[in-house]
Amino acid sequence: MTTADLRVVMMVANDVTNDSRVRKEAAALAETGAEVTVLGVSASGLPSREMLDGALIVRVAVPFSLREERKRSRKARRDWRPPLVGYKHRSTYVARSQRIQAELKELKADSGHAVVAAKSGQGNPLKFKAGVATRLLRKSRWQAAKKATWVRKGVGNKADAPFKFSWRAYDGVIHRLPWPAPWRKLHPEALDLEIAFGDLIDRLEPDVVHAHDMHVIGVATRAAGRAKLRGKHLKVVYDAHEYVAGLSRYGARTRRSIAAWANHEREYIGQADRVITVSPAIARTLQQEHKLGHEPTVIMNTPNPADVSVEVSDIRSRIGLRAEVPLLVYSGGVTRARGIHTAVQALVDLPDAHLAVVCVPGVATDAVRALQAQAAALEVQDRLHCLDPVKPDEVVAFLRTADVGLIPILRYPSHEMSLPNKLFEYAFAGLPVVVSDMPSMKEFVDRTRIGEVFVAADAHDLASKVRTVLGDLDTYRERVADPGYQQEVSWSGQAEKLRGLYGELVGRQLEVIQPGGRPVKAQRRLLLGPVNSAGQAWLWATALEREVPDIKAESLTTGSGAFDFRVHRTGTYRQYRSDLRWQLELTAYTLREVTHVLFEAGRPMFGQQRGQMWTNDVPMLDQAGIKHGLVFHGSEIRDPAQHRAQYKWSPFRNADDELTVRLQAANDLMRTHLEDYEGTVFVTTPDLLEFVDNGIWLPLTVDTEEFNSSAPVLEREVPVVLHAPSASALKGSAYVDPVLTDLDARGLIKYQRVRGVPHSELAEMVRNADIVVDQLLLGSYGVFACEAMAAGRVTVGHIADPVRDLLPTDLPIAEATPDDLSEVIERLVAERDSARKIADAGPEYVRELHDGHKSVEVLLPFLDGR
């Protein structure tokens, strides 16, 4: 196996953006040239792709159907009440009450009408008395219903209390029990992730699958099992970010919930080929508890030194604090278990100090509001600053102007074994630390002497240790800045260990060949596709490279290739629609190498589901800084209604034609999307400028050498007339065929009608024809007409006057419509000298507009100049 052949799929149950460990490990492998794909969960609910640090990030929309069904069924059990005991939904009670009120009001209205009618002498007295009786019965019924509704609601309220109390008692007991804790029942989201990721892994066919954290270890090992059925040994790496069995408890993370995740890990960890974790203590514990064949490799979650130089506003400037004021900082997740409330309490004993809390995932959470309420109660709210987080690669630079970094985590088994990422972020930011006395952290801080250790949850001791550090700040800063210590906590050493582990797995050493994981785009590279209509993308690309060697250009087609047009990259229709591996390979290549993209026909470049357009790919390209534009060829943007109104001869005369109706709807949608599109839009024929605001004419291109012909024109007694309708001109062929067939029968011409032959055969036929008939309905000319002119053939077609007016020079195409085609052909055959002048002007016209150089001039502004 060569390094370039190494395919790695990483998985994590978050959206990757703020998971620095996942990103750093993916980058460390991408630096070796390995193809790394990271599968994450889309936070927005919409799938997306982007290139980060040399790895392709694929965010999957995961509906979590099993998890939501568990929530629904759990709520249904707790909401159950015996029949007629209360109302299941408050809205039912409200609706019933309002119905009774409406009925009683209607009864009053009926009584009023009846009384007035009786007093005026209208109606039958017996009928009135019967109505009175009926209304009394109705009143009694609805008053009874009102009372019954009130009673039922009251009974329900009374019954609610014991039901709710019983469920609270049950939950209070069951959530404290570590057994039984079946993960399939308690955490069906693990199976939701299997549904979302499993098939993707199978289709990507990686060599190694790397499961980040316990949520996806089952997905990885099951993928390895399925791979064995295909005769392949898929290696599994499990990355234990924490000691799962000792996770801190808060909110829904109860003892039973934690035990269920631990059971999930326990079921699959033995099937992993290698295990990675974040501290020596966790590594030893995992090996002992699970009797692993290999001791887990410790890859500490240390920062990347490159992050120190990131230009970003600093934390002191953000909160507007003077340089001489002591500033403590905590950066990370905000939960009760993190012990930040201890630091807030310590501010009482530190009257001159301020505390900044960089809150992950953000300030707008209940946990942060609780800290702010605590600070207000202690009257230190003016010295507590809660800030939203910065990007992962900006954290170190952002923290650099603080004085002391805090890690006040409380005592949980997972905390006792951990070496948190923030410990190393503080180090690279140049901050001494004050940490709680968790064994792994205490041993590390005592050994390196980069700070002080306080008794967990003891605010007075925390304040005391902060005063110790602030009292000798320069000494602590020197220890933090020591090159030996900096090297120990640098990510580069950890990345090398990771690459060594992967080298063992694949049986060869992995060397860094692309520092940074993402090669610099040394030159402009254009990708055109995915249609290559009539070979135009190929011709534009080759013309660009011929005239501007500094630009590289490639064409892409995802069609059948039946017409043998040349193209740089190909994909089948199946690949384009459903082959994820092909789609992601093209995506990764584009994000790594390409600087400009031109979408043909409004279609997405990297795979298409039903109804998707180029807009599906735009956010990804924007994020990658790739410039993009559109090229329209005709039918995908031409408005049938407008064309019908402007042209007498139009293929869309029948507005009710099924094909026209579908085309109208599709093109209306295309133009709707165009309204908000800010990229450059090209059209390949001048008539399309009518349908695209601010469109730019990108002339069609012909290989003039391929169509150069020395065959004489109109010297045969019976000239050869060629007609090869494209798919868009088939309706026009219905007008052409009868005319040319009749002329052939009369012996005036030899008619050749061609459709569906390879392009090379068609080129030979064009070079040897005398007259070539193009389309007669669209009012413009296309590739076939350009090829005929390039071959010096007499070219016939219908070119509307507004289109001819747009052209910079006379167009040597003999004008004909379905009305006069026969007369035009007969005249050309009869007046051969005049016809040859039209043919002779063709090659010069093509050299002026359609040999590629004009197209290059039009494309260069989009490509940022020559």
> What does the H/E/C string look like for 109-166?
HHHHHHHHHHHCCCCCHHHHHHHHHHHHHHHHHHHHHHHHHHHHHHHHHHHHHHHHHH
Q: Looking at the predicted structure, is the pLDDT value of residue 2 above 50? A: no
- The predicted-structure confidence for 462-495, as pLDDT tens digits, reads as follows 999 999 999 999 999 999 999 888 887 888 889 9
Whole-angstrom Cα distance, residue 699 to residue 851?
A: 9
Whole-angstrom distance, CA of residue 775 vs CA of residue 85: 78
Q: How far apart are CA 792 and CA 759, in angstroms?
A: 18
**Nearest alpha-carbon partner for 103 in 143, 163, 61:** 143
**Res 563: pLDDT:** 63
Contact 495, 304 (CB under 8 A): no
Residue 680 falls inside a structural domain? yes
SS3 13: coil
* Cβ atoms 223, 198 nearer than 8 A: yes
> Has residue 511 got a pLDDT over 80?
yes
DSSP bridge partners of 242: none
827 and 772 part of one domain: yes
Interatomic CA distance for residues 397 and 620, integer angstroms: 27
Residue pair 320/437 in contact by the 8 Å Cβ criterion: no
Tell whether 801 is covered by a domain: yes
Domain membership of residue 70 (yes or no) is: no
For residue 112, what pLDDT is reported?
87
Report H helices in 175-234: 183-186, 189-204, 217-229
For residue 474, what pLDDT is reported?
95
Q: Which amino acid is at 367?
A: A
CB contact at 8 A, 259 and 184: no
Q: What's the confidence (pLDDT) of residue 248?
A: 78
Average pLDDT score over the chain:
90
In one-letter notation, the amino acid at residue 287 is: Q
Length in residues, the chain: 866
Joined together, the tokens standing for residue 244 give 């799962």
Among residues 174, 202, 218, the one where a domain terminates is 174
One domain for residues 843 and 726: yes
- CB of 386 closer than 8 Å to CB of 368: yes
- Amino acid in the structure at residue 160: D
Q: Which of 356, 351, 349, 389 is nearest to 371 (CA)?
A: 356
* Residue owning tokens 């170190």: 396
Kindly state the tokens that stand for 504.
Answer: 């063992």
Question: What is the CB neighbour count within 10 angstroms for residue 822?
Answer: 17
Q: How would residue 195 be classed by pLDDT, with cut points 50, 70 and 90?
A: very high
At residue 728, the pLDDT reads: 52
Residues 291 and 316 in one domain: no
Structural domain contains residue 272 = yes
Give the span between the Cα atoms of 694 and 671, in whole angstroms: 13
Rounded distance between C-alpha atoms, residue 783 and residue 800, angstroms: 17
E strand intervals along 477-621: 524-529, 551-557, 569-570, 596-600
Choose the final residue of a domain: 153, 174, 195. Answer: 174
Residues 213 and 151 in one domain: no
| Kind and range of the H or E run holding 369 | helix 366-377
Contact by Cβ (8 Å): 741, 751: yes
DSSP one-letter code for 459: H
Residue 499 lies in a domain: no
The count of structural domains within the chain is 5
Between residues 757 and 322, which one has the greater pLDDT? 322
- Segment among 124-138, 206-220, 230-244, 470-484 with least mean pLDDT: 124-138
Higher pLDDT residue, 385 or 560? 385
- Residue in the structure block whose two tokens are 């009869």: 830
Q: Are residues 729 and 820 in the same domain?
A: yes
d(CA 490, CA 501) in angstroms, rounded, equals 18
Looking at residue 52, what is its pLDDT? 83
Residues 547 and 575 in one domain: yes
Same domain, 671 and 690: yes
Three-state DSSP class for residue 516: coil
The residues that bridge with 435 in the sheet, in sequence order, are 407, 453
Give me the residue label for tokens 């077609």.
797
- Measured from the Cβ of residue 612, the count of other Cβ atoms closer than 10 Å reads 12
Mean pLDDT of all residues in 153-178 = 82
Q: Mean pLDDT, to the nearest integer, of 836-850? A: 96
Cα 237 to chain centroid distance, Å, stands at 26
CA 53 from chain center: how many Å? Answer: 17
CB 827 within 8 A of CB 820: no
Note whether 199 and 246 are within 8 A (CB): no
pLDDT at 309: 55
Query: Is residue 369 situated within a structural domain?
Result: yes
Q: What tokens does 691 get? A: 């349908």
| Residue written as token pair 């007035």 | 116
pLDDT of residue 560: 59
Determine contact, residues 698/858, Cβ cutoff 8 Å.
yes
What does the alpha-carbon distance between residue 245 and residue 255 come to, in Å, rounded to a whole number? 9
Q: Count CB neighbours of 795 within 10 A.
A: 29
pLDDT value, residue 307: 57
Q: What percent of the chain has pLDDT over 90?
A: 61
- Residues contacting 829, CB < 8 A, separation 6+: 714, 719, 748, 749, 771, 835
Angle at 474 between CA 469 and CA 475, to 5 degrees: 75
Strands (E), 558-649: 569-570, 596-600, 627-632
Tokens of 788: 């005929």
Question: Which residues on neighbouring strands pair with residue 726, listed in sequence order?
Answer: none
743 Cβ contact list (under 8 Å, min separation 6): 721, 749, 751, 822, 825, 826
**335: pLDDT strictly greater than 80:** yes
Other C-beta atoms closer than 10 Å to the C-beta of 413 total 19
Dist CA 557 CA 535 (whole Å): 9
Q: Does residue 864 fall inside a structural domain?
A: no
1 pLDDT tier (thresholds 50, 70, 90): very low
Distance (Å, whole) CA 61 – CA 43:
8
Is residue 341 located within the same domain as residue 242?
A: no
CA atoms of 62 and 189, how far apart (whole Å): 10
Could you give the C-alpha distances from 301 to 13, 390, 732, in angstroms and in order? 18, 18, 68
pLDDT for residue 691 is more than 80:
yes
CA 456 → CA 138, 279, 351, 576, 784, distances in Å? Answer: 72, 20, 21, 57, 81
Query: Which of 171-180, 209-218, 251-260, 753-762 is predicted most confidently?
Result: 209-218
Q: Are residues 667 and 762 in the same domain?
A: no
Domain range spanning residue 125?
A: 82-174
Q: Which residue carries 């042209």 as its tokens?
A: 647
Is 29 in contact with 8 (CB distance < 8 Å)?
A: yes
Position 508 in a domain: no
- Cβ atoms 774, 795 nearer than 8 A: yes
Q: Is the dihedral of CA 780, 785, 787, 789 positive or negative?
A: negative
pLDDT tens-digit series, residues 388-435: 998 877 888 899 999 999 999 998 887 888 888 888 889 889 999 999
Q: Among residues 533, 612, 843, which one has the least CA distance to residue 707?
A: 843
Among 483, 516, 539, the domain-final residue is 483
Asked whether residue 274 falls in the same domain as residue 204, the answer is: yes
192 and 151 share one domain? no
Assign residue 791 the CATH number of its domain: 3.40.50.2000
Query: Is-contact 334 340, C-beta < 8 A?
Result: yes
614-622: average pLDDT = 90
- Are 13 and 101 members of one domain? no
Q: What is the pTM of this model?
A: 0.74
Q: Are 466 and 434 in contact (CB under 8 A)?
A: yes
Contacts of 240 (CB under 8 A, 6+ apart): 213, 214, 265, 275, 276, 277, 278, 282, 286, 296
